[in-house]
Amino acid sequence: MFERILSLFDSSVPKTALPPAEAKYALGALMVRTALIDNSYLFNEVKEIDRVLSKMYGLGPIDAAKMRAQCEKLEHELPKTGDLAAILAATTSMEDREQAVAALWDVVYADGNRHVKELSLVSEIAERLGVSEERCEVIRQHELAHWDKNH
């Protein structure tokens, strides 16, 4: 066990690679960041991230959980929200970016608590994705109505 701990500091031991800087991982990392912004990472948020990844990318539950774990790592390694948003903005259509904003709102509503930090972060990400404040609000209202109806 001591050797495993020491290996963390040994640069000759290969580390687990970051997931590719692709839109789907950037979105996953942004969902994780949104869930973490209020200093808690609740089961309902994790479950919602897995559900969204599964639905958007046609993954089974295990593969969605594995992808989320990779997104958690990416979220940790790329501290600037703008960097993650830039990956998403550069490689997706406006329709896909609006779907990404909807996914972020789903994560906000997953824990049943709406924190100012979460609302602010999603608004910032939407702006960086080129989604107007007005359109972001329409998407938020739609997701809130959908969330309240189905949960």
Fold classified for 19-150:
TerB-like (1.10.3680)
Average of pLDDT values for 114-119? 90
First CA to last CA across the chain, in angstroms? 44
Q: What is the pLDDT of residue 150?
A: 76
pLDDT digits (tens, 9 = 90+) for 37-49: 999 999 999 999 9
Enter the pTM of the model: 0.84
Which residue in 132, 131, 136, 134 sits closest to 119, CA to CA? 136
Domain ranges of the chain: 19-150
- The answer to which of 15-24, 66-75, 90-99, 109-118 has the lowest mean pLDDT is 15-24
